[in-house]
C-alpha cells in the first residue's frame, strides 16, 4: 500500500470529496475513465448509506499491488445501528428507509470484490475492491524496482 486517504462522511459535501478522492486514486493507478466513474459511483452509494442509516462514518481509500494487477480498496465504516439482514440488504429493491433499494446491490455490481460485516447495534463495514491488470511493461518495471531495492 502506497497511499491511504480517509474522508469523514457527515454531509453530502463529504460524499463529493470521497468520490473525488476515489477518482484521483483511480487515475493515479491508470484505471480508465469509465472505471473511475464506476468506482466513484460505488463510493457514492455506500457513502449515502452511511448518511441515511448511521448519520456519519468514514470512507478509507487505498491502493493495493499484486504482481499482475493494481487495485483500489474502498472501506466504508460507520457505528450506526447495523444491518439486520445483510442477505436482504443485498437484494435489489429491498430498502429499509423508503429508498429504491439499489445502493448496496448496485455498488456490489460495480466493483470486482464486495464484502459486508455488520453487527446490529454495532455498525457496518463495507469493503470493495476494483482491479486493473498490469500491462507487461508495468510488470517488468515493478520487478526491476524491487530488485534494485534488494540490492540497495
Question: Per-block average pLDDT, block size 10, for the chain (152 residues)?
Answer: 87 96 95 95 94 95 90 96 82 58 82 94 95 81 82 76
Structural domain for 116, as ranges: 4-151
Q: Specify the number of domains making up the chain.
A: 1
Answer whether 50's CB lies under 8 Å from 78's CB: yes
pTM (2 decimals)?
0.83
CATH code (residue 120):
3.30.565.10
In this structure, are residues 72 and 63 in contact, taking their beta carbons and an 8 Å threshold? yes
Q: What is the pLDDT of residue 100?
A: 41
Name the CA dihedral angle for 101, 105, 110, 111, rounded to a multiple of 10 degrees: 140
Closest by Cα among 63, 60, 71 to 125: 60
Classified as helix, coil or strand, 76 is strand
* pLDDT score, position 99: 47
Q: What's the DSSP call for residue 29?
A: T
Q: How far apart are CA 63 and CA 91, in angstroms?
A: 29
Beta bridge partners of 75: 60, 127
Residue-level pLDDT at 101: 43
Amino acid at each position: 500500500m502506497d497511499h491511504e486517504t480517509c474522508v469523514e462522511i457527515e454531509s453530502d459535501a463529504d460524499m463529493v470529496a470521497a468520490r473525488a478522492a476515489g477518482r484521483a486514486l483511480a487515475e493515479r493507478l491508470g484505471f480508465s475513465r469509465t472505471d473511475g466513474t464506476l468506482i466513484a459511483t460505488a463510493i457514492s452509494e455506500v457513502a449515502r448509506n452511511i448518511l441515511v442509516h448511521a448519520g456519519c462514518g468514514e470512507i478509507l481509500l487505498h491502493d493495493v499491488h499484486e504482481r499482475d494487477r493494481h487495485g483500489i480498496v474502498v472501506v466504508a465504516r460507520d457505528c450506526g445501528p447495523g444491518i439486520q439482514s445483510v442477505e436482504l440488504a443485498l437484494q435489489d429493491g429491498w430498502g429499509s428507509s423508503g429508498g429504491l433499494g439499489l445502493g448496496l446491490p448496485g455498488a456490489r455490481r460495480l466493483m470486482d470484490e464486495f464484502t459486508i460485516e455488520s453487527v446490529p447495534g454495532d455498525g457496518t463495514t463495507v469493503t470493495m475492491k476494483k482491479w486493473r491488470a498490469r500491462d507487461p511493461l508495468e510488470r517488468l518495471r515493478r520487478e526491476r524496482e524491487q530488485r534494485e531495492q534488494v540490492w540497495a
